[in-house]
Amino acid sequence: MVTVHAETPPALIELKGIRRSYGGTGGQPEVEVLHGIDLQIHAGEFVAIVGQSGSGKSTLMHLLGCLDRASSGSYRFAGHDVSQLDSDELAWLRREAFGFVFQGYHLIPTESASENVQVPALYAGLPEHERAQRAAALLTRLGLNDKLDLRPNQLSGGQQQRVSIARALMNGGRIILADEPTGALDSKSGEQVMALLHELADAGHTIILITHDHQVASQARRVVEIRDGNILADSADHSVPIQSKAEPLRLDPSQAQYAAANTLWNDLRESARTAWRGMRLNRVRTGLTLLGIVIGVASVIVMLAIGEGARRQVLERMGTMGTAILYMGSRPPATGGPSGELTEADLQAVRELPEIRYVLPVIGDPTTVRYGSKDKEIYVFASSEQMPAVHHWPVEQGRFYTEAEDRALAPLVVLGHKARQHFFPDTPNPLGRQLLIGASPFEVVGVMSERGADSGAQDYDDMVFIPYRAGRARVYQTQTQPDYVVMQAMSSEVVNEAEAAIRTLLIARHGREDFGIGNAAARIQAEMATRRSMSVMLGLIAAVSLVVGGIGVMNVMLMTVKERTREIGIRVATGARQRDILRQFMTEAVLVTLVGGTVGVIAGLLVGAVLIVSNVPVVFSVSAMLGAFACAVATGLVFGYMPARTAARLDPVAALTGE
């Protein structure tokens, strides 16, 4: 008699001639562990695969669960050729179809029971509150409602195994792959776990139980015996149709897309949460890594601020002196003899040089100045009407004297800000008053604006200014030539040419070099160049320290990946894609540098504040801070990428079974 079943459903799992070999590379001999396995498992079956240790059971389970690929043979899952699926589709299959239960539980030690159960749903994109609710419901169903927040090391073996079963059920767990689930448990806990598997089988889950224990295996509805990589016996009775309550699994790898709906923001937040926990657990190590980044960022900020401060200081000095200023005075020639005399005709000739804009002869000496009953030794500065232009220094009240007045020897005086306050403290308008300079009366025609602290030796605010010719005629009668001459070149670019032209001209006129020319602009420019190269060097040192910080991050990340190999295996087994793992570890690296960068910016500001208090000129720039911060984060990305990629590329089976 032949019973014909109207509807024999197609096998859920169909293995044909599956072989798996190890080795064969690096001089190691190739060893075949599975020698051509043929096996069909239907939805809703409760199958035990039994065999001695080393017979290839775990290897088979890893193949069934799509954690590993066969060397040859075909594996069809719900009619699809598994070898045709790419790694994302395999991840999707692991996530949606399989739930793994391992002998060693394989819980993530740093996460609570509830969080461990939630891991598969993370990669399925379930919203956070639904995830937590479902985990709590599952754990409650397995009698662990009071253990939700405990970590694996706070649970007994039996409890841990129940947590791992809850995790296997998190995404539905249509097919439970249990590798020696009772192997590490005492007999009572083992019985509880077996009872649970029975319950699940009754509820329609497909159970594939792997064990070396015939006693345990005999509890399954079907027993497949494996020895040395071959199937020895199979109790399958295909005459009985499988009564499955499970809905048929529709495998559509195009659905693998839907995890993408999981928002990037949620993914990042989840990664950041895990990363933050890891950082807290390894406080000392994290702190030391952070220190590298902090020092790097802080030194970039401080070095740049010091460089900028120095630059501004030089610029400021240039601003007050002008970048194209030359000084000249007579002096004895190096070859001996008396010093020369700079005549009016000499100055006129210099004035006519094309490189020269202004020529300003100056005579200045402390002289007694009197107004009413007040008198004071004050610096009387006799120079031409071009003085305000040369010094970029405006008149505040009244006016400056003119060239015509200078030529006419007009006795006019313009007061510096302090001089005005000294002589006319209560007079709002001192214009028109008469000052006695030396023995001659001078009329006040103007007041200069306040110049403020100057880098020069003299305080320009505490002077009075009189026309050059009137000064020579009325105050400095004995003076035959200017004390010195201030000249301005056409631009700072031609200042050296101007100096050379003046020298050539005057040597031709005097027949010898009986004068000296001071080139302030050249001095300042040289100083500027030195400071600039110093800033560059400081910047380089700072950048190097940032790179060193980055290497620290990489080092720690590599250690983290090594330590958490098993966790990575667990995440992959529960459905994480390579990019999920990559993102998680990148997030950790970036988080370290974000925290380090923030602390670094604060530290940089503090150091800068100390420098300001101790009178070192520093100028902070927001762009330097943002730049240093961005560099730190970029360092995290660059130096975190390699370890993260290492993590993402780990072989899941090796990660799960290795140390």
Minimal distance in Å, beta carbon 255 to ligand ADP? 31
| Residue of closest CB approach to Mg ion | 58
The option from ligand ADP, Mg ion, none interacting with 51 (CB < 5 to 8 A, set by class) reads ligand ADP
Question: Of 44, 51, 99, 120, which lies in the binding site for ligand ADP, with binding defined by CB under 6 A?
Answer: 51
Comparison of 73 and 253: residue with beta carbon closer to ligand ADP: 73
Comparison of 58 and 384: residue with beta carbon closer to ligand ADP: 58
Cα–Cα distance between 546 and 303 in angstroms, integer? 13
Of residues 53-112, which lie at the interface with ligand ADP (CB under 6 A)?
A: 53-59
Question: Of 8, 9, 10, 22, which lies in the binding site for ligand ADP, with binding defined by CB under 6 A?
Answer: 22
Angle at 426 between CA 423 and CA 429, to 5 degrees: 80
**Residue 417 CB coordination number (10 Å):** 19
The option from ligand ADP, Mg ion, none interacting with 59 (CB < 5 to 8 A, set by class) reads ligand ADP
Comparison of 190 and 292: residue with beta carbon closer to ligand ADP: 190
Comparison of 22 and 258: residue with beta carbon closer to ligand ADP: 22
Cα–Cα distance between 79 and 21 in angstroms, integer? 25
The residue written with tokens 């993530």 in the block is 108
Comparison of 55 and 274: residue with beta carbon closer to Mg ion: 55
Cα–Cα distance between 589 and 641 in angstroms, integer? 8
Closest CA to 11 of 64, 89, 67: 64
Q: What are phi and psi of 583, to 5 degrees?
A: -65, -40
Comparison of 59 and 481: residue with beta carbon closer to ligand ADP: 59
Minimal distance in Å, beta carbon 55 to ligand ADP? 4
Closest CA to 299 of 591, 622, 534, 625: 625
Interface size with ligand ADP, residues (CB under 6 A): 12
Comparison of 58 and 519: residue with beta carbon closer to Mg ion: 58
Comparison of 85 and 226: residue with beta carbon closer to ligand ADP: 226
Tokens of 632: 């730190």
SS3 378: strand
Cα–Cα distance between 95 and 551 in angstroms, integer? 35
The option from ligand ADP, Mg ion, none interacting with 439 (CB < 5 to 8 A, set by class) reads none
Minimal distance in Å, beta carbon 182 to Mg ion? 13
Tokens of 455: 């880098």
The option from ligand ADP, Mg ion, none interacting with 54 (CB < 5 to 8 A, set by class) reads ligand ADP
SS3 169: helix
For residue 431, the one-letter residue type is L
Minimal distance in Å, beta carbon 54 to ligand ADP? 4
Minimal distance in Å, beta carbon 570 to ligand ADP? 18
Minimal distance in Å, beta carbon 195 to ligand ADP? 24
**Given the rule CB under 6 A, which of 52-60, 469-477, 546-554, 568-576 is the region that contacts ligand ADP?**
52-60
Comparison of 111 and 180: residue with beta carbon closer to ligand ADP: 180
Question: Of all helices (H) and strands (E), which one includes residue 292?
Answer: helix 283-321
The option from ligand ADP, Mg ion, none interacting with 529 (CB < 5 to 8 A, set by class) reads none
Of residues 560-599, which lie at the interface with ligand ADP (CB under 6 A)?
A: none
Tokens of 570: 């667990």
Minimal distance in Å, beta carbon 33 to ligand ADP? 4
Enumerate the β-bridge partners of residue 66: none
Enumerate the β-bridge partners of residue 465: 381, 414
> What CA–CA distances, in Å, run from 199 to 203, 206, 403, 458, 543?
6, 11, 112, 99, 62
Minimal distance in Å, beta carbon 65 to Mg ion? 13
Comparison of 11 and 216: residue with beta carbon closer to Mg ion: 216
Q: Is 25 in the site for ligand ADP (CB under 6 A)?
A: no
Minimal distance in Å, beta carbon 99 to ligand ADP? 19
Minimal distance in Å, beta carbon 58 to Mg ion? 3
Tokens of 309: 């401060």
The option from ligand ADP, Mg ion, none interacting with 481 (CB < 5 to 8 A, set by class) reads none
Residue 104, class by beta-carbon neighbours within 10 Å (0-12 exposed, 13-18 middle, 19+ buried)? middle
Tokens of 550: 């980055």
Comparison of 56 and 552: residue with beta carbon closer to Mg ion: 56
For residue 75, the one-letter residue type is Y
Closest CA to 570 of 649, 642, 657, 644: 657
Of residues 365-404, which lie at the interface with ligand ADP (CB under 6 A)?
A: none
Of residues 521-580, which lie at the interface with Mg ion (CB under 5 A)?
A: none
Cα–Cα distance between 619 and 61 in angstroms, integer? 65
Minimal distance in Å, beta carbon 26 to Mg ion? 24
Q: What are phi and psi of 164, to 5 degrees?
A: -70, -30
Q: What are phi and psi of 158, to 5 degrees?
A: -60, -40
The option from ligand ADP, Mg ion, none interacting with 56 (CB < 5 to 8 A, set by class) reads ligand ADP
The option from Mg ion, ligand ADP, none interacting with 103 (CB < 5 to 8 A, set by class) reads none
Residue 454, class by beta-carbon neighbours within 10 Å (0-12 exposed, 13-18 middle, 19+ buried)? middle
> What CA–CA distances, in Å, run from 315 to 490, 608, 631?
19, 20, 29
Q: How far apart are the first and last CA of the chain?
A: 56
Minimal distance in Å, beta carbon 179 to Mg ion? 6
SS3 448: strand
What is the contact mask toward Mg ion in residues 40 to 79, using x (rule: CB under 5 A)? ------------------x---------------------
Give the binding site for Mg ion (CB under 5 A): 58
Give the binding site for ligand ADP (CB under 6 A): 22-23, 31, 33, 51, 53-59
